[in-house]
């Protein structure tokens, strides 16, 4: 498909702004693992829907986009996002909402815990646990062996060392270093924000510290969430830890939505929740 809009260049990177362009406010869409420009299916219909609220929708391409994620980190993603936020602020754009899909949700919570003063709100769609998703697809004995190899390298301060082809095949065939493997696959890794087995104390240190309005959207038919995970219970725990002043009442399930939300009806429901979120907090 072709999409009309504007491609912005900033700090040796690019971001695509869907039509209608140049509106006062901005929603920055952040994809998940293997995503890049124009790969988030609902970005274009979202742009049409939020225009009446004065928002343009911008899809960011990060250093970790496509198959770059295996040698990057959430810290690097946040650095890339902040550069784009600064770029739009320098152009006198108004409110800025960051909107992450899948692992992009990890970027959103990571960003809100570090630079809350630079944006106005955050949205997290399909905030699944990469640790639980990937681990459920790997034989436990194989996983233990692969984890041990990566962990030893990190302990030896060789986290940037690339791992074996066997490691890579379990992460979409993507080259991966020891640090990112451990971040994604080990309990307590830097990417481990949404696992069901995290303690209430940990959740209080993440969701409980958020000081800007945020919306959580769980996709009802998300195939990357293990069947053993009680998503309703998880949402309740996140809500209980959060400041009710910032937890959106629109948070909840997107009916019949898969992980990628390619279904048109589900896209409409997701977009509707986003527009209601904007109205709820008068963003």
Assigned CATH for 5-129+194-280: 3.40.50.1820
| Predicted TM-score of the model (pTM) | 0.97
**Averaged over 222-241, what is the pLDDT?**
95
pLDDT at 283 over 90: yes
Distance between CA atoms of residues 32 and 276, nearest Å: 24
**Averaged over 33-59, what is the pLDDT?**
97
The answer to whether the peptide bond before residue 20 is cis (omega within 30 degrees of 0) is: yes
Band (149; pLDDT cuts 50, 70, 90): very high
- pLDDT (tens digit, 9 = 90+) per residue, 180-226? 999 999 999 999 999 999 999 999 999 999 999 999 999 999 999 99
pLDDT at 140 over 90: yes
Band (25; pLDDT cuts 50, 70, 90): very high
Band (177; pLDDT cuts 50, 70, 90): very high
Angle at 84 between CA 270 and CA 24, to 5 degrees: 65
**Averaged over 147-172, what is the pLDDT?**
98
Mean pLDDT of all residues in the chain? 97
Q: Are strands 55-60 and 25-30 parallel, antiparallel or unpaired?
A: parallel
Contacting residues for 23 by C-beta, under 8 A, at least 6 apart: 51, 54, 55, 56
pLDDT at 1: 83
Whole-number percent of the chain with pLDDT over 90: 98
Band (143; pLDDT cuts 50, 70, 90): very high
Distance between CA atoms of residues 271 and 117, nearest Å: 25
**Averaged over 35-56, what is the pLDDT?**
97
Beta bridge partners of 215: 123
Say if CB 266 and CB 109 are below 8 A apart.
no
pLDDT at 216: 98
Delimit the domains of the chain by residue range.
5-129+194-280, 130-192
């Amino acid at each position: 498909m072709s999409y009309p809009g504007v491609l912005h260049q900033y700090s040796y990177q690019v971001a695509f702004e869907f039509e209608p362009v140049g509106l006062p406010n901005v929603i920055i869409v952040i994809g998940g693992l293997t995503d890049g420009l124009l790969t988030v299916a609902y970005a274009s219909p979202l742009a049409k829907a939020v225009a009446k609220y004065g928002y343009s929708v911008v899809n960011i391409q990060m250093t970790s986009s496509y198959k770059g994620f295996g040698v990057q980190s959430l810290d690097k993603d946040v650095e890339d996002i902040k550069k784009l936020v600064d770029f739009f602020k320098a152009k006198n754009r108004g409110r800025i909402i960051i909107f992450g899909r899948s692992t992009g949700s990890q970027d959103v919570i990571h960003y809100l815990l570090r630079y809350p003063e630079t944006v106005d709100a955050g949205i997290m769609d399909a905030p699944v646990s990469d640790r639980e998703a990937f681990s459920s697809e790997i034989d436990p004995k194989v996983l233990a062996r692969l984890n041990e190899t990566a962990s030893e390298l990190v302990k030896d301060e060789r986290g940037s060392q690339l791992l074996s082809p066997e490691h890579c095949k379990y992460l979409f065939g993507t080259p991966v270093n020891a640090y990112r493997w451990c971040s994604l696959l080990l309990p307590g890794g830097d990417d481990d924000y949404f696992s069901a087995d995290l303690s209430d104390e940990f959740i209080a240190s993440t969701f409980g510290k958020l000081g800007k309005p945020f919306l959580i959207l769980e996709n009802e038919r998300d195939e990357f969430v293990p069947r053993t995970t009680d998503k309703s219970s998880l949402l309740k725990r996140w809500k209980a830890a959060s400041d009710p002043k910032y937890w959106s009442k629109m948070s909840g399930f997107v009916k019949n939505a898969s992980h990628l939300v390619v279904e048109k009806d589900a896209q409409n429901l997701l977009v509707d929740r986003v527009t209601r979120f904007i109205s709820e907090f008068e963003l």
